Structure 1
Amino acid sequence: MGYEHYDNIIEPFLENVRLHPDRLACVCDDVTHTYQEMNVLTDRIARAFVDRGVTAGDRVAYLIPNSIELVGVYLAIQRIGAVAVPLNYRLISREIAFLTNAVDAKLLVFDKRFVDKVEAVLSDFESDLALMGVGTSTSFAPRLWDLASEAPIDPEVPLFKDPSALSRIQFTGGSTGLPKGACRTHRQDLTEIHACIASNGMLEMDHPIALIQCPLEHHGGHSWFMSALSSGATTVICGKFDPQNILSQIEQYGVTHMILLPPTTYLRLMRDEHVKDYDLSSVRIVQSAAGAMTPEVISEAFEVFPNTEVNYGWGQSESGTGTSIRITRDMVDRRVPELASVGTPMETLEVRIVDDEGLDVEEGQPGEAIVRSPAVMSGYYGQEELTRNAFTSDGWLRTGDIMRRDENGYLYLMTRKKDMIKSGGENVFINEVQTAILRNPLVADCVVFGTSDPVMGEAVAAVVQPVPGASLTAEDVQETCKQYIASYKKPRYVQFIDDLHRDDAGKVRLKDVIDYFDRKRAERK
């Protein structure tokens, strides 16, 4: 049985509060909370939100790094039927204001580390936006925990129940580079979480221990912490990548499931000089996603984690669920061709591979993957035209990814149809970077694309045409970007060219530009 009988995404968590009240639910550094303690924390925060006027359907944005506080805020939002709007904590001030206003948020909750970012754009927020600080109080925002600690815990805040109501707006992006908020209901997220648990096998043991070192505000991080809490697991939350900390916690807590992103992070962990000093035999599932997990890397994972399998796959915020393949040591030893795939569709997901006319292609031929599932989003918040364009006339979601399917049903990701770069686990949209670069008055033109990178897997690259006679450096271009977009979006590599040779239609031969970039990059090595 799935989660069809639940009406709120946090009901599986609440079931584990009843079944395992004294079991550790969340661990982050030296802070621990049992399931019952997480429930009390959730109720207090929910009451604080209600006291500030938040009601069912109101959007609550939060800007919080990986922490137990983030989990508590998310669960509290769901308890009262409000809509969670997780924000990437690496955003700059103007992006925070734009996205908060874009969803007509009633409340913004922010961590003490981001006080300066929020204060810088106070005048840009909608006038009725309420603010709360986590770990701090300011002249413009009370401290959340002061409000929450004053709230009684008896009786509990009533649980909101409506499976068709919005539970989350997950910001993603597309070829325009503009932010798009994927609207997800309780039913869609319940379907997704159930499929995720079936894929990663958290219910295959009585007490799973899940270590998460990827942003919890991302779709993947959200899927994993909610899968863990829905499975009665102990969730070990990590912040910035620290190999010694991760390795010691695997040993200390007996971690059974782990997810690190981007995939190249596994290489950094497995090649740490102290990795052999720790007992890592408890790990049963190493989770990764499309990109950088070659058979050689997977073989290395089996050496470091002797009892593991590698769960690998593909998915989107829009699709909710995705595809997966459980890779064993034997599969790697035999070098089965499916190792190059992203697996088969997870529970409830249907996948078609179609041509530009929307017709199914022949087996083995590439085409755009379109999907259908109860986990697929409802649409993009406040963007009707984009929503219409995202779906076919008969309701299939256009993923924008080119795939092929083999005779055994395995799917292979060929390329991204969307104008998007996946750099270090973050989506970076080309138009957004180009626009930022062109804000520099010494830049006449530019082209942005993704290039291979040994650390990031894929990195942002730019070929820039300066204004004639201008003196411009790569650092100048990067500093301009940092003024207008988050730092991780700036180009990691910059090359200069006298003329991009746009044609009369304003188009550039991208292949020629990339070839030029590759030659210049090789010359610098």
Structure 2
Amino acid sequence: MHASFWTDKYPEGIPTEINPDQYPNVLAVLKDSCERFADRPAFTNLGKTITWGEMYHLSGEFAAYLQTHAGLQPGDRIAVQLPNVLQYPIVVFGAMRAGYVVVNTNPLYTAREMEHQFNDSGAKALVCLANMAHLAEEVVPKTGVKHVIVTEVGDMLPPLKRVLVNAVVKHVKKMVPAWSIPGSVPFTKAMKVGAKADFREANPSAEDTAVLQYTGGTTGVAKGAMLTHRNLLANMLQCKVMMPENMKEGEEVIICPLPLYHIYAFTFHCMSVMLLGGQNVLITNPRDIPATVKEMKQYRFSAFVGLNTLFAALCNNEQFRQLDFSGMKLTLSGGMALQQATAERWHKVTGCEVSEGYGMTETSPVVSVNPTHATQLGTIGIPVPSTLCKVIDDDGQELPVGERGELCVKGPQVMKGYWQRQEATDEVLSADGWLQTGDIAIIQEDGYMRIVDRKKDMIVVSGFNVYPNELEDVMAAIPGVLQCAAIGVPSDKSGEAIKVFVVREPGAQLTAEQVKTHMRDKLTAYKVPKDVEFRDSLPTTNVGKILRRELRDEELKKLGAA
């Protein structure tokens, strides 16, 4: 049966198509929304709110600074390494308006990870938080980054509060290690300089790359997915039409606990909510559940975008259970599998059903979602408008409805390709635009889809992709390691946890703690294994390739027997 057969099975009220060409680029939507919703709140953080009009004005000042003082050419890449603070949208939209490509960078990256991303993207400028500047000091000289702008957590707050918050973060909480980057410019100074400068508004074409979003794709080396203006426009329009009909323009308050540098939060909060003229309440540290709940208590919020681990942690918090949920219209889940028990508990506590969706960086990211008025728990919903899905067998042949196969996606949100990696692009993207996701799915008769397995070995820890190749490269460098492998094992807390297997060299006295310590030095915290098991040998193919799937199967059997 043809892949697009189920477009006639869409629930009522949802169009089957969107027009990704109704705007020439993301900047046209930005201008339109910031004018229409000029007086409406756009972003809130640490008690400070900026309106859409203010955000447009401030992003223009930052754009002016970049064009006149950063030495960048149109199309140059600028790495943005910020958590959820007000500076993030100002910097990202400012960079786009000035004509540059945004490279979203995880603030928790280690020096090793930063170096790879900056060099691979060819980033010429970096905007980072002072808390991470000590790593930038180490990395920048090894890259092509020529201009560094450093911001502190409280830089967008009123003068007195700014000084106080920045002092507490630096001196009381000791969260800013000493750093020195010659020629770096404070964000506050950049904004003052930009306020006095003029700039030329960029006018990129729909096919120009707007964002380089790094992902392991189906292998371990982090690659930049080239997301064009048209890709982002398509996905923001697709998300918008999937929102409940009772969400009103210029009136909604959306809680944003997921990091904006992650494509899921980036597209939803910076793109779709811009189209809606909503207010994003930015949570800087969602791991601090009491502080998150305290922040949420101040708003009659209407939407919450999260993932399984966060839903579970919040429902376990007594103060959260006492919040006012009367305004709730939408809860979105993505990034990792939603557990049925968690979804049911969230519904019971908040009165709002969770709509689970599916996506990947390469699809900007949303592929499918459960419509709020027709959710099917345990599925990833239906494809968003203008999106075709099919499943194929190992020979690339399309399979009938109800059979399991690799999910393939085609639509205007599918990336242009991987940055400077044609071979890797050709592996996943066909000439006629079908993207192979590496996930094994079943398309049901009613058009809803279920993910049943992963073809690739990727591990998903609390919504973050972790690639075994990368972990094994780091482990292999540990003195005393002869062979190693990394797999994901089921975890109630994080969806999956990392377990590694090590074969020691003869006579080596390596301990599990030494392995973890080494990996902690080289990798972001969520990539550090929870469990290290030493073995005399590992299962391999006849050419010596370690069989991770066998190790995974063994672990699942153990869990089944437990």
State the percentage of identical aligned residues: 27
Map of 2:53 onto structure 1: 36
Q: Which residue of 1 aligns with 2:110?
A: 92
How do residues 169-248 of structure 1 correspond to structure 2 at under 5 angstroms? 169-201=212-244, 204-206=247-249, 207-225=251-269, 226-241=271-286, 242-248=288-294
Between Structure 1 and Structure 2, how many residues are aligned? 514
CA separation in 1, counterparts of 2:335 and 2:124?
36
Q: Which residue of 1 aligns with 2:323?
A: 278
- SS of 1:353 mapped into structure 2: strand
| Residues 1:461 and 2:504 are matched in the alignment | no
Q: Give yes or no for contact 2:363–2:414 (8 Å, CA) kept in 1.
A: yes
For 1:53 and 1:503, the matched residues in 2 are separated by 52
> Tell me, what secondary structure is at the counterpart of 2:206?
coil
1:55 maps to amino acid: Q
1:159-215 alpha-carbon deviations (Å, 9 max, x no partner): 424222111111011343101100011111100111112223387324111111111
7-16 or 384-393, larger mean C-alpha shift: 7-16
Change (3 A) 1:318 1:175: closer
Q: 1:407 to 1:516 in 2, by over 3 A?
A: closer
Q: Give the match for residue 79 of structure 2.
A: 61
Note the alpha carbon deviations across 1:322-362, whole angstroms, 9 max, x for none: 1111356x96xxxxxx4221111001111111112221112
User: d(CA) in 1 for partners of 2:549 and 2:413?
Assistant: 37
Q: Does 1:111 align with 2:129?
A: yes
For residues 512 and 217 of structure 2, the distance between their equivalents in structure 1, rounded to whole angstroms, comes to 26
- Report the Cα distance in structure 1 between the residues aligned to 2:138 and 2:41, rounded to whole angstroms: 38
Give the structure 2 partner of residue 142 of structure 1. Answer: 185
Question: Equivalent residues in 2 for 1:152-163 (5 A)?
Answer: 152=195, 157-163=200-206
In the alignment, is residue 266 of structure 1 matched against residue 311 of structure 2? Answer: yes
Paired residue secondary structure (2:195): coil
- Say which of 301, 313, 327 aligns to 2:357: 313
Q: Tell me what 1:334 maps to.
A: none
CA contact (8 A) 1:342 1:410 kept: yes
- Match for residue 46 of structure 1? 63
Alpha-carbon distance between aligned partners in 1 of 2:55 and 2:83, rounded to the nearest angstrom: 18
In structure 2, which of residues 412, 416, 432 is the aligned counterpart of residue 378 of structure 1? 416
Shift in Å, 1:155: 6.3
The partner residue of 1:437 within 453, 475, 491 is 475
How far does residue 475 in structure 1 lie from its aligned partner after superposition?
A: 1.4
1:177–1:432 Cα contact (<8 Å) kept: yes
- Counterpart residue type for residue 415 of structure 2: M
Structure 1: unaligned runs, 5 residues or longer: 332-337
Taking structure 2 as the reference length, what is the TM-score of the superposition? Answer: 0.86
Q: Shift of residue 403 of structure 1?
A: 0.8
* Cα distance per residue 1:47-104 (max 9 Å; x no partner): 1100122232111111111111111111011112211101111111122122111111
Partner of 1:478, secondary structure, is helix
Give the distance between the partners of 1:493 and 1:33, measured in 2 at CA: 44
Of residues 123, 133, 136, the one that matches 2:150 is 133
**Structure 1 residues 4-43: aligned runs within 5 Å:** 4-43=21-60
C-alpha distance in structure 2 between counterparts of 1:43 and 1:493, whole Å: 48
Aligned partner of 1:255 in structure 2 is 301
**AA matched with 2:469:** N
| Separation of aligned partners in 2, 1:396 and 1:47 | 39
**Structure 1 residue 395 corresponds to structure 2 residue 440:** no
Partner of 2:460: 422
1:271-292 Cα shifts (integer Å, max 9, x gaps)? 1022233212212111102644
* AA aligned opposite 1:314: Y
Assess if the C-alpha contact under 8 Å between 1:182 and 1:317 holds in 2.
yes
How many Å separate the matches in 1 of 2:338 and 2:209?
Answer: 35
Residue 347 of structure 2 is aligned to residue 347 of structure 1: no
In structure 1, how many angstroms separate the alpha carbons of the residues matched to 2:203 and 2:392?
40
Evaluate the alpha carbon distance shift between residue 458 and residue 69 of structure 1 in structure 2; reply closer, same or farther with a 3 A threshold.
same
Q: Distance in 2 between matches of 1:395 and 1:12?
A: 26
Query: Residue 153 of structure 1: CA displacement?
Result: 6.3
- Kindly provide the amino acid, as one letter, of the partner of residue 478 in structure 1: K
Name the Cα RMSD after superposition. Answer: 2.4
